[in-house]
């Protein structure tokens, strides 16, 4: 069915579009955006009344964990993509730390096939850097590129061997895909469970120093300079990493970076059960909350401020969720024993909008960091030696002819986070019980409704 999204506030940073108008999707493609002076398409349309709502390109997540194959108790491609649609994401790049890991053509094809038959949004797998994520030997990077991976990463684990990392960067040039690194010096972070600082001391937990991240960010930047390869730093969490990235960008290196919604909105105090941002108290300050255990850990307010500044001055290119669903059993235990990770797809928009509502972030910048910017990180690679990027043209934009991927949200609608209503199997959220302002009303993928809020009624119309 062709769609007419009527009377919404259309915001498309890719073409500087910021206007009230109508958006037409015909046969799965963006066909007409008011106020463009083209001829309106004729025919029958299902109408989404969007007055008072924001209409923007579908969100693109460079970094999430769908857990299939192997950890279907935590998430499946079916449940993870439904969570994505509910959160406004139309494209997901999923990390390869599954069981088996995505280190062969067979596993890439399994993920692609399952996403095709069971998923409701676009899914692009990321392949391993090392075989079996063991950090010993390079994965078959050519085979993975030919099978259609978007990038390479051992996410969840750093690439400890600098020599292996150098070789991975060198080979990645030939295959035109970026290397995404989870930057963590394991010798420094060893057994740490949260940020090293006063909260860890008070709770009697072993800390992970900022230097554990920064040491590897510095190493990786040096290797990116040596090899000329495209390096993307995952989930940046410290002010020191931001300084290193700023210098790398000043030098003109092909280095990009992402930050998560949780590192932008929460700090280490949240581990004690309260947040500086939401003033929401989920537990006594003498208690801890394993739902706030994440890797890299939630850091200090100084770090959070540095991340925000870096997002604004483009030192950090994109926002990525690092959606990391876990079972109740993985989290309902001692802090040291709990799994790292936050189930983030369904709360990303609401908690990022809290930064907009409080005047800390500009709405257009936020939308750009969720749509156009993540695509640009992947698209640079299209110009590289291996021309066959699996990413179709036109994601992250509402340009004419682009795939009809659109997110429609109400920036003022307030809702209370109830993990029991999540589409994700992962109920592990530090925002449980929090009131967020801003909710997705509909998510459209290739002209099809992947998600619709119950309160949104469609109307039929002949145009
Ligand atoms: O908190 C995290 N969880 N950080 C990671 O890097 C991996 C992820 C996971 O796979 O659970």
| Ligand 1 pocket member 65 (CB < 6 A) | yes
Q: What is the pLDDT of residue 368?
A: 98
- Sequence-distant (≥ 6) Cβ neighbours of residue 424 within 8 angstroms: 75, 79, 80, 82, 83, 323, 325, 343, 345, 346
Evaluate the CA torsion angle 305, 375, 140, 252 in order and state its sign.
Answer: negative
Residue 29 phi/psi, 5° resolution?
-120, 150
Q: What is the pLDDT of residue 145?
A: 93
| Shortest-distance Cα residue to atom 1 of ligand 1 | 341
Neighbours of 461 (CB within 10 A): 12
C-alpha 364/C-alpha 416 separation (Å) is: 25
Q: What is the pLDDT of residue 410?
A: 98
Q: What is the pLDDT of residue 204?
A: 94
Q: What is the pLDDT of residue 35?
A: 62
314 φψ region: left (φ > 0), alpha (ψ -120 to 50), beta (else): left
Quick one: which atom of ligand 1 is closest to the CA of 341? 1
What distance in angstroms lies between residue 160's CA and the mean position of ligand 1's atoms?
A: 17
Instruction: Name the packing angle between helices 162-175 and 210-227 (round to 10°).
Output: 50
Beta bridge partners of 195: 208
Beta bridge partners of 93: 124
Q: What is the DSSP string of 252-273?
A: T-SEEEEE-HHHHH--GGGGGT
Cβ 445 vs Cβ 58: under 8 Å: yes
Could you please state the CATH topology (level 3) that the domain comprising 3-55+401-413+435-462 is classified under. Urease, subunit C; domain 1 (2.30.40)
| Shortest-distance Cα residue to atom 4 of ligand 1 | 295
What distance in angstroms lies between residue 38's CA and the mean position of ligand 1's atoms?
A: 47
Quick one: which atom of ligand 1 is closest to the CA of 324? 11
- Which of 324, 325, 330, 425 has most ligand 1 atoms within 8 Å of CB, for mutation? 324
Whether the ω angle into residue 100 lies within 30 degrees of 0, i.e. cis, is yes
What distance in angstroms lies between residue 155's CA and the mean position of ligand 1's atoms?
A: 7
Beta bridge partners of 127: 152
- Which of 192, 208, 341 has most ligand 1 atoms within 8 Å of CB, for mutation? 341
322 is catalytic: yes
Q: What is the pLDDT of residue 276?
A: 43
| Shortest-distance Cα residue to atom 7 of ligand 1 | 156
Residue 388, helix vs strand vs coil: coil
Of 12, 155, 303, 322, the active-site residue reads 322
- How deeply is 184 buried, as exposed, middle or buried, from its count of CB atoms within 10 A (0-12, 13-18, 19+)? buried
Q: What is the pLDDT of residue 37?
A: 56
What distance in angstroms lies between residue 156's CA and the mean position of ligand 1's atoms?
A: 5
| Ligand 1 pocket member 135 (CB < 6 A) | no
What distance in angstroms lies between residue 173's CA and the mean position of ligand 1's atoms?
A: 26
Residue 367, helix vs strand vs coil: helix
CATH top-level class of 57-377: alpha beta
| Ligand 1 pocket member 340 (CB < 6 A) | yes
Q: What is the 8-class DSSP label of residue 196?
A: S
pLDDT-flagged residues of the chain (< 50): 275-285
Q: Where are the alpha helices (DSSP H) in 119-177?
A: 141-147, 162-175
| Ligand 1 pocket member 289 (CB < 6 A) | no
Domain limits, the chain:
3-55+401-413+435-462, 57-377
pLDDT tens digits, one per residue of 412-429: 999 999 999 999 999 999
Q: What is the pLDDT of residue 275?
A: 46
- Which of 102, 156, 261 has most ligand 1 atoms within 8 Å of CB, for mutation? 156
Cβ 303 vs Cβ 330: under 8 Å: no
Q: What is the pLDDT of residue 274?
A: 55
What distance in angstroms lies between residue 400's CA and the mean position of ligand 1's atoms?
A: 37
Quick one: which atom of ligand 1 is closest to the CA of 95? 10
Q: What is the pLDDT of residue 147?
A: 94
C-alpha 448/C-alpha 432 separation (Å) is: 30
Residue 446, helix vs strand vs coil: coil
What distance in angstroms lies between residue 437's CA and the mean position of ligand 1's atoms?
A: 27
| Shortest-distance Cα residue to atom 9 of ligand 1 | 324
Residue 285, helix vs strand vs coil: coil
Quick one: which atom of ligand 1 is closest to the CA of 293? 1
**C-alpha distance from residue 63 to each of 95, 122, 180, 387 (Å):** 6, 13, 10, 22
Nearest alpha carbon to residue 195 among 278, 97, 281, 302: 302
Nearest alpha carbon to residue 271 among 197, 354, 187: 197
C-alpha 428/C-alpha 225 separation (Å) is: 38
C-alpha 341/C-alpha 425 separation (Å) is: 13
| Ligand 1 pocket member 324 (CB < 6 A) | yes
Nearest alpha carbon to residue 301 among 260, 257, 268: 268
Q: What is the pLDDT of residue 356?
A: 98
Residues 285, 264, 424: CA angle, nearest 5 degrees? 80
């Amino acid at each position: 069915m062709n769609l007419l999204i009527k009377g919404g506030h259309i915001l498309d940073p890719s073409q500087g579009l910021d206007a009230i108008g109508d958006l037409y999707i015909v046969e799965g493609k963006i066909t007409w955006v008011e106020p463009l002076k083209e001829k309106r398409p004729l025919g029958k349309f299902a109408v989404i009344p969007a007055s008072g709502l924001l209409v923007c390109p579908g969100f693109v997540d460079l970094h999430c964990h769908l857990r299939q194959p192997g950890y279907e108790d935590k998430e499946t491609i079916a449940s993870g993509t439904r969570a994505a649609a509910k959160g406004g994401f139309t494209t997901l790049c999923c990390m390869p730390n599954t069981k088996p890991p995505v280190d062969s053509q067979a596993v890439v094809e399994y993920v692609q096939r399952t996403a095709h038959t069971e998923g409701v949004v676009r899914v692009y797998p990321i392949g391993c850097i090392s075989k079996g994520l063991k950090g010993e030997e390079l994965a078959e990077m050519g085979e993975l590129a030919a099978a259609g991976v978007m990038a390479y990463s051992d996410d969840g684990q750093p690439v400890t061997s600098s020599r292996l990392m150098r070789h991975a960067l060198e080979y990645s040039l030939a295959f035109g895909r970026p290397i995404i690194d989870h930057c963590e010096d394991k010798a420094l972070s060893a057994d740490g469970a949260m940020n090293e600082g006063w909260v860890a001391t008070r709770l009697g937990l072993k800390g992970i120093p900022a230097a554990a991240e920064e040491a590897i960010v510095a190493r990786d930047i040096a290797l990116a300079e040596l090899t000329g390869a495209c390096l993307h730093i995952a989930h940046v969490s410290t002010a020191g990493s931001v300084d290193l990235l700023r210098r790398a960008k000043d030098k003109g290196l092909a280095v990009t970076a992402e930050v998560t919604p949780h590192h932008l909105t929460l700090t280490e105090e949240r581990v004690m059960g309260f947040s500086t941002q939401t003033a929401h108290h989920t537990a006594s300050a003498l208690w801890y909350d394993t739902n706030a255990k994440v890797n890299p850990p939630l850091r200090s307010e100084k770090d959070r401020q540095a991340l925000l500044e870096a997002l604004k001055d483009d030192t950090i290119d994109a926002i990525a969720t690092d959606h990391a669903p876990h079972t109740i059993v993985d989290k309902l235990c001692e802090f040291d024993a709990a799994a790292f990770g936050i189930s983030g797809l369904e709360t990303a928009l609401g908690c990022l909008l809290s930064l907009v509502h409080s005047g800390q972030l500009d709405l257009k910048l936020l939308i750009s960091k969720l749509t156009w910017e993540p695509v640009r990180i992947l698209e640079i690679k299209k110009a590289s030696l291996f021309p066959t990027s699996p990413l179709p043209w036109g994601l992250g934009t509402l340009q004419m002819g682009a795939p009809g991927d659109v997110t429609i949200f109400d920036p003022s609608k307030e809702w209370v986070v109830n993990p029991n209503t999540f589409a994700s199997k992962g109920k592990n959220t530090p925002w449980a019980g929090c009131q967020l302002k801003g909710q997705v009303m509909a998510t459209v993928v290739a002209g099809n409704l992947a998600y619709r809020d119950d309160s949104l009624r469609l109307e039929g119309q002949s145009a």
